[in-house]
Amino acid sequence: MKLVPQYDTLAFHEQSLLARAYRQEILGSNLANADTPNYKSRDVQFADVLQQRLQGIEINSRLTVSRTSSSHFETQGGAEFENPNLLYRRPLQPALDGNTVDADVERTHFAQNAMMMQAAIEFFSGSIKSRLQAISGQPG
């Protein structure tokens, strides 16, 4: 019998960690591009990404590129595309060069997401330990 992902704690924690890692990648990209002209700060709603992952919808930020001729260049990775989950952050004070990254705001979101990711890891670890104790018959 296959459990619904919301009720399978291991699957839930796994998808939660993947959603947090996806958001961390986006926030890190914002910080890395803080000085890039015309770069627009982006983010995702964690709850929306988690819900989609639990429903089995794969969220990728890269497209794969097919090589159809031997004269085509070899590629590493794929091309970035606009994911419908990505939202643009509205800056409090946009820069003259068109960059909308506020480094302080991004660092705050990055740190908050990192703490939530650490908490998710602790819950995941606790869930595994509980199952191992139940299997081995050890008292909790």
| Residue 29, domain member (yes or no) | yes
At residue 85, the pLDDT reads 78
Is residue 43 in some structural domain?
A: yes
Total-model pTM: 0.73
Do the domain assignments include residue 106?
yes
Domain assignment of residue 67, yes or no: no
| Coil vs helix vs strand at 112 | helix
Distances 66 to 25, 72, 83 between C-alpha atoms, Å: 25, 10, 20
User: Cα separation of 32 and 16, whole Å?
Assistant: 24
Cα-based angle 40, 45, 50 (whole degrees, multiple of 5): 135
Give me the amino acid identity at 45: Q
The pLDDT assigned to 79 comes to 41
CA separation, residue 110 to residues 23, 58, 81, 94, 107 (Å)? 9, 23, 22, 20, 5
- How many domains does the chain contain in total? 1
* Phi and psi torsions of 79, nearest 5°: -100, 140
* Domain span at 22: 5-57+84-134
- Of 49, 39, 44, 45, nearest in space to 16 by CA: 49
Query: Is 38 domain-assigned?
Result: yes
In a domain, 27, yes or no: yes
Is residue 24 in a domain? yes
Predicted confidence pLDDT, tens digits, the chain (140 residues):
455 555 677 888 888 999 999 999 999 999 999 999 999 999 999 999 888 888 876 555 444 455 566 776 665 544 444 466 789 998 888 789 999 999 999 999 999 999 999 999 998 899 889 889 989 988 76
Residue 127 lies in a domain: yes
Q: What is residue 93's predicted lDDT score, i.e. its pLDDT?
A: 85
